[in-house]
Amino acid sequence: MTNRITELEPSTEPAISYSTCYPQFFLGDIQIYNGNNIDVLQNLGLDLSKCIFVSDPPFNIGYHYDQYNDKMNEDDYYNWLAYIFGTQKQVIIHYPEYLYKHSFNIGLFPDKVVSWVYNSNTGKQHRDIAFFGVKPDFRKVGQDYKNPTDKRIAKRIADGKTARLYDWWEINQVKNVSAEKTAHPCQMPLKVMENIIGVLPDDYIIIDPFLGSGTTALACQKYNRKFIGIELDPKYFEIAKQRIFNSAGLFQNCG
């Protein structure tokens, strides 16, 4: 992977050009591409020291995707993740056991781990969010205080204060009855991504090489962050594009 950077500009015009044509969509600081993530990243020529990867990669558990086989050889799977994310700054959402193996494989320990928990009819009731090479600032995102009847806490609430974000996020999965549900089979809740993007340091480009339905892009829209997303499946790419358009209220296709 090259070590060049082409700065993203806050406009609807493409800030990046490359020799291979991929379906692409640009809107403000949001840029998304439909193609193989490794190929697209190599062609973008980014300085990855100025980027943070934020992603919910395929879990390699046999999930049904239209364009991707979610059941690779275990060694191949972890080497694939390592090749994509490398040892760059990264925030990875995965089941704990997988994150331990990913950490071992890339030779890095997380700076912070958050537990995302949900009450569902599944054997696994939580995933972890690991921050590698980046220290989140939980003071940047507020949440409701616990024990609101405590006099000290009640005074803070009356003063309009909120608690800093904790490392235990109880957020429901996106289910078939959820208002934000799309046709993507494994959609990330927007609140989870908003929490992640909200606590990251400023002045970094956010990259999601597994864009899916575009949830990371929407969170970056909320916080006015520069974002690059890559999605292999044309159907999911179109879903992401439409969600970005609906969120922004305007449409600009530069592909």
* Average pLDDT for 167-181: 84
pLDDT at position 20 is: 52
Residue 16: pLDDT band with limits 50, 70, 90: very low
* Average pLDDT for 166-177: 86
Residue 249: pLDDT band with limits 50, 70, 90: low
* Average pLDDT for 123-129: 91
Residue 84: pLDDT band with limits 50, 70, 90: very high
Q: What is the pLDDT of residues 214-227, one digit of tens each?
A: 999 999 999 999 99
Query: How many CB atoms are located within 10 Å of the residue 125 CB?
Result: 11
CA distance 51 to 205: 5
* Average pLDDT for 114-125: 88
- Least confident segment among 46-55, 78-87, 135-144, 167-176: 167-176
CB 134 within 8 A of CB 207: no
| Averaged pLDDT score across all residues of the chain | 86
The residue ranking higher by pLDDT, 186 or 9, is 186
Chain position carrying tokens 């990867």: 53
H/E/C letters for each residue in the chain?
A: CCCCCCCCCCCCCCCCCCCCCCCEEEECCEEEEECCHHHHHHHHCCCHHHEEEEECCCCCCCCECCCCECCCCHHHHHHHHHHHHCCCCEEEEECHHHHHHHHHHHCCCCCEEEEEECCCCCCCCEEEEEEECCCCCHHHCEECCCCCCCHHHHHHHHCCCCEECCCEEECCCCCCCCCCCCCCCCCCCHHHHHHHHHHCCCCCEEEECCCCCCHHHHHHHHCCCCEEEEECCHHHHHHHHHHHHHHHCCCCCCC
Tell me the whole-structure pTM to 2 decimals: 0.85
